[in-house]
Amino acid sequence: MAAAELAAESPSAQVTEQAARPRVTVVIPARDEAARITGVLDRLFAAVRGPAEVLVVVDTAADSTVAPVQAYADRAGAGGARPACLVNGYGSGPASAIRFGLDHASAPVIVVLMADGCDDAAQIDDLVLLVEQGAVIAAASRYAPGGSQRGAPVLKRSLSRLAGRSLRALAGAGTCDATNSFKAYSAEFVRVAGVQSQRGFSVGIELTAKARRLRLPVAEIPTSWQERRSGRSGFRLVRWLPAYLRWYLYCFGRPLGDGAGGAAGD
C-alpha cells in the first residue's frame, strides 16, 4: 500500500502520535547534584507549559543525583511529570553527558539546562517558542541588553563575555553569549550539524558556530545567570579552554553547504 494511502487511512493514529510526543526535551547534565536537583526540577515543571520530556544525565549509576530524581519520579505517579535519569554511555564529563542527552531526546525542540540552578527555568517556554518560530538555536544570553551574570570568577566571566560579544560583532554569530549552555535547539538541526565536543560545556559554542557557518538563524533573549551558591563548581577553565578556542575560531570560517558533512568540515 502506498504511503499516501496509509496516511489517508489513519489520521487518528497521526493525531495520537503527535499528542503523545513531548513539545520539548530538557537535557540536564548532572554530577553529584543531590542537594540541588529537586529544586531545579520543581522550578522546571512549574514553568514549562505542555508536555515535556526531562532527561537527567549522569556519568554513573552511583551518582548521588540518581536517588532524588528517582524519588521525584515516584512521587509524580503515573499521570504526573516524571523526569528520567539516564547513565551516560559516551564517556565521562559534561560534553559527553550533553551529547548523550541530545541523542536520546524525542521532542522536536531540545533545551539544555544546568543542574546547579544557575539557569532561569522560567525562560524555557520562551526559548522553545523562538525555535518553533524558525530559529535553529535560541540562546539565553547573559550579555544581551537586560541580561546579567552574578557570582562568576572574574577571569571566567571576562573571557566568556569577550568571546560572546566578539563572535556577535565580528562573525555575526546571532547571539552575544555563544558559550552559555542554556540554549534551545532544533532537534533536526542538531542531527544535521552533529556534535563533536568532548570536553567541558563547549557544545553550546560548537553548535552556535555551526549554525553561523551554515547561515541558519540564531535568536537570543536576555537572561539572569547566578553562579552556584553551594557546593563546588566543576568548571575547569584552563583544561577546557582549548576546546572553546577551537570552536571560537571555527565560527570565522567560510560558509558551508547544507548537510552533516558540511557542518563537520573546517
- Write the pLDDT tens digit of every residue in 31-46: 999 999 999 999 999 9
Largest CA distance in the chain: 64
Average the pLDDT over 176-193 and give the result: 96
Contact 205, 212 (CB under 8 A): no
HSE of 141, CA atoms in CB hemisphere, 13 A: 25
Residue 83 predicted with pLDDT over 80:
yes
Residue 13 predicted with pLDDT over 80:
no
Burial of 216-227, coded b for 16+ CB within 10 Å and e otherwise, reads bebbbbbbebeb
Domains of the chain, CATH where assigned: 22-263 (3.90.550.10)
The pTM of this model reads 0.85
More confident residue, 182 or 244: 182
Identify the pLDDT of residue 112: 98
More confident residue, 159 or 13: 159
Identify the pLDDT of residue 230: 54
